[in-house]
Structure 1
Amino acid sequence: MDIKLKKYSHSVITKIIVFIIAILCFTGILRAFVEVEILNDGEFGSVVEGDYLESRAYVLENEALIGDLTRILGEYKNEEHILSGKTISQDEWRSVEENLYSEFRNQSRSYSPELSEEENFKKFKEEYADTLSQENDQLIREDLREFHLLLQNIEDSDLMFFASDGTNVFKNSTKTEKEQFENYPSYMLFEGYKRVFYPKETEENEHLHLITEQMDELDTGNTVVYVAFPEELLDLKTEEWQENKAIAGKNAYQVFVFLAGFILSFFYLVLIIGRKSFKDQELHLHPADKLYNDIKIVLCTMLIVFWVALVDDVFENIEKMIIPITIPFAALGLVLILSLVKHFKNRTLFKHTLIFTLIHNLVKFIGDVYQSGSTGVKTVLLVIGYPIVIALTFFMFPVTIGLAAWFAFKKIKTFNSIQSGVERIKEGNLHHRIEAGEKGEFSRLAANINSITDGLKKAVDNELKSERLKTELITNVSHDIRNPLTSIITYVDLLKDEKDPSKAKDYIEVLDQKSKRLKILAEDLFEATKASSGNIPVHFEKIDVVSLITQGLGEVNDKVELLDLDIKLSYPREKVYITADGKLLWRSIENLLSNIFKYALKSSRVYISIEELGSEILLTFKNISASELNISADELMERFKRGDESRSSQGSGLGLSIAKSLIEIQKGKFNIQIDGDLFKALIYLPKHIPGNE
């Protein structure tokens, strides 16, 4: 049996047959990829997609048009807007000025190191006024060119669309109303922050974020974007997608089969190559294996380049030519690779290279002559050999000198740039960035200096913010405490002289209210300080967040009914567990609900949603404010800030700050967002992992 196995397993015929199988399988893999990815403009991912409306192809069809529309509405708007220079960003213009200023500093005689940077920059602006104007015009022309290219792209689209930012309108039909687009079999409607996708299958499309991310970059104030598929186009695209899916499914199966065949055959060839049997310890090399390994690697690289070039030349007939082109290239490439495998087995992969052979022979020759010769021979060898080495490398002397000079000049220029940047930073320009190329020590030095600058700028900003917050804290605390304290003093004085028991009773009630108000302010201030310092003990446990919120809403149902609020709670069907402190979490949620009860518009809807985001759980609270929110989200998060600037409400302005601190000590994140009168609070908490109790 062993003799038969030896006879067939390592025979030349077996090797040839397996070699042919490997070549055919490799060619089959390439042919399948070409047929799907190039000839049919598809992708293998369509195999697992259930419907065209849930496919990547559907999203890409819409994304191309919506991407162009968002760029036009958000960046270019119209020709007048572009010609006014408003599309040129500050960073873009700053880069132009810095490049020209660097040229001015290195070449202009007007630049004087004795003057300050501001004075030199003023001279630069005067001397380079025409150049700066030309650069500005060039940037405008480039934006105009891009604007018209985008207009041409949307005009060529087969989709129906209407887009407007309240001033500029772009459309390819007479239909401008939402109701008109809703008559199409498939559409996407974007109005402000509202988004409608039809039919419902499109909402399940996992690639839909490619479109929504682009819309998120737009100012949603007055923006309207309607995109729809006419019925004929939808039928055509669906038919094309189904055809491509069928082709992709067939070829995916072929790729799997061919890949398995290639791996098995290639592994078998690697196993038996160079051996006459499984027990054979000697590696047998053929005359073709004498070719140096580094030359083989170069040949393999050239084969890949030539194959790509030939495929590109016959691109129009690639379906017919891919097999006859690939087979000879794959066969020759596999022969070279198997030869390299032989040398790897023989441990001569590096030793059998042309470079190693030349260096080894040269060193060996010189060593042999030097070691075997007498003192006279060694002297002659040094006297003759040194001039020979100089003569052999003399032709490179101008090149090496030029390269050395260029390298030195480049390094000196980079060093001067860093030195100049450090001077500007030292003078107080913390916004200056030092550019020193992409690699090298100077680049790392510039990056470190920029990091220090960023740290200084952040520290300065934090210090300024801290000083401002301290001032506001003192002002707001004084204001909030003074009011009830003044009332208490006033009514105590009145109570001293009041003889009427009924009036005295009223004064006492006022005193009771004001003292309780003062107590609430003191407790909130104490709790805020304690929460921000992290001195509150935290007991982590497994919490059913849906049950927690449901029970909590039941406790505050009286306030909900009093304000006629409609609570909309949405959550996953399955149980959702988090790791947190139940008491601290409810205190945070209670603060948010209290904030909603104080500032929400009466008889409005309040949305509370619970979502799973991988390893996190997101809790979102949304409500419409009764008063105008003319304040940023960052300002609203500061202590003693209220939704009403008049400070007429009963809140201390510490609710959101306390909620944020309590969430953070539970290893969560707390953010708020403001969109017009829409107030949104987001709480991210770690999802409970079984086994971590």
Structure 2
Amino acid sequence: MDIRLKKYSHSMTTKLIVFMIMLACFSGVMQAIANLVSVNDGDVGIVFEDNYFFSESYVRESENLISELTRLLGKYKSEENILKGGTINKDDQRMEEQNLFSEFQIDSKSYNPNLSEAENYEKFKVDYADKISELKDQMIKRDLREFHFLLNNIEEVKDPLYYASDGVNVYTNSIMKDKEQFKDYPSYMVFEGYKSDIYPKEIEANKYLNRITMELDEWGTENHAMYVAFPKKFLDSKINEWKEKKVNSTKGFYYLLGFSAGFILSFLYLAFVTGRKSFKDEELRLYAVDKLYIDLNILLCIGLITLWVLILDFLEIPNNLNWVIPITIPFSAACFVLILSMVRHVKNRTLFKHTLIYQIVKGLVQFVRNVYDSGNVGVKTVLIVIGYPLLIALTFFMFPITIGFAAWFALKKVKSFKAIKDGVERIKNGEIQHSIEIGGKGEFANLAANINSITDGLKNAVDNELKSERLKTELITNVSHDIRTPLTSIITYVDLLKKEKDLSKIAEYTEVLDQKSKRLKFLTDDLFEAAKASSGNIPVHLEKIDIESLITQGLGEVSEKIEELNLEFKFNHPNAKVYVTADGKLLWRSIENVLSNIFKYALKGSRVYINIEDLGKDILLTFKNISAYELNISADELMERFKRGDESRSSQGSGLGLSIAKSLIDIQKGKFMIQIDGDLFKSIICIPKHSNE
């Protein structure tokens, strides 16, 4: 029996069967994850929730309602308040007026650059008097639209019951006004000023409750009150719905654990037996796939995983769960074949030696050694044998002078060394501003200069670290804001869709959901592209590119967008043809990102200048436009990911376009930079000129 086990444990048939089991389990893991994400709108934590009142589902029932009521009473108050201009502050009005002044500077013939800005501003007030008077009306109309949108949302809420008041304005969907009436219900939330009363009390331990309390932190005053009550029928239906989702999620979670255990065991078995025919087999057998270099193997795995993710994303998984297993099986099969190949190289102790990089380095070292062995030693020997006697013969007659010069030279070097030693001791003791003064040139002078620069290097390192930490914090904040905005809208409209019976409203909500989901996909795609571009894992095919034709053709493709924004493009280029050495697709992608940035943030009706300059070895491509937003941040910060010139983040950009463009230009051996001069925004691309040699 033991002999049979040894015979079958390493047979190709057994390995093939276990490999298929591993693929099935891995596909099952992916399917279980997709099912868990699709159930309860991605709330996988429901598996570990013991009580409905501790769940995220409970908070969701009132989160959007409280948020909208807070905005209504905190900002808009009432329609009368909006019509009186109560929602408009001086800063907003001043910003809108400044945008009009920028338009006056560019388009108006009355603008005189020889006059002072104050004098031009007086002319602007006269010429644009009508438009300035209309600014407030436009801002009021915008606030009215948002006000009625929020009002319509809360008016459609039947359950839970609510009452909100700031002492003057009241919004409610019930006849109750007293908080004690709301407390008669099985669950309620009462917020008065800065005080709150929530029932059942265990809700206060709900880790998601801060999503509601955060909305109210800056809202509460003595006159503000908000009551929310959950009727028993409504609460029972939600509890039953939560229990049903918990059952389904728990079942999916157990499926995930089971498939994961099967996958891990089958993979460990294959990793243990691959390359050997028996337990006692000392010789490791490699296959044809093992001839592939390890680094190329890794790149191929990354490519397959990336393509798999892109296909699943394109099919909008987890909306189309039936496609998970058919797509996962072929990709996972290819990946695990490559992974098991790497396992065999680990067992064979050739993981590092079987890399393309190692082979190249090894070849270079061998080449240098061969050159050295082929004659350099002989040359050095000849120099030593001939040169040393000649030196002695030449200096023999002035031997005392040679000794004196050597002593003076040694003393000078000792003094330099002592100065460096004392200076390092002082710097070590905390005098980082101390400068070591060594005259002349040579190794000691260079060493002293390098030590003197250490303090500057330390200061720059600290400054860069602080800047890096700040930018990391802003990145997390910005990406969270950008992704949460469409996600919150999706959650809101899904909740509304669940309760809506009117087909026209359903169609309207579906359209909004489609827009927001596309927006979320756009942000995710841009984030993935930025990561891929910055990692440098993009194939580059350098070729001869006619830069003028590339830009002309590209502008033709976006002509509709140019006409829509009423932008006037001015294209200046040399009379002779200008060619660059670049990857056509990547170069156009970079230029397209710059144009996209212009379309999002350029002042409507303004001019955009594109200049091509021949610098000899390089070609300089410059894009200049007037920003519609006040550029109150530095060019370096604007190049960071998820940074926008629109600090309010109300525009539709992702803040990744310029970062992607820089990464793509860098891998083409070019340079990308931006410059800000007031409201003038410049994007500069420096790309190597094509050489005919």
Question: TM-score band, normalised by the shorter chain?
Answer: 0.3 to 0.5
State TM-score, norm by structure 1.
0.48
State TM-score, norm by structure 2.
0.48
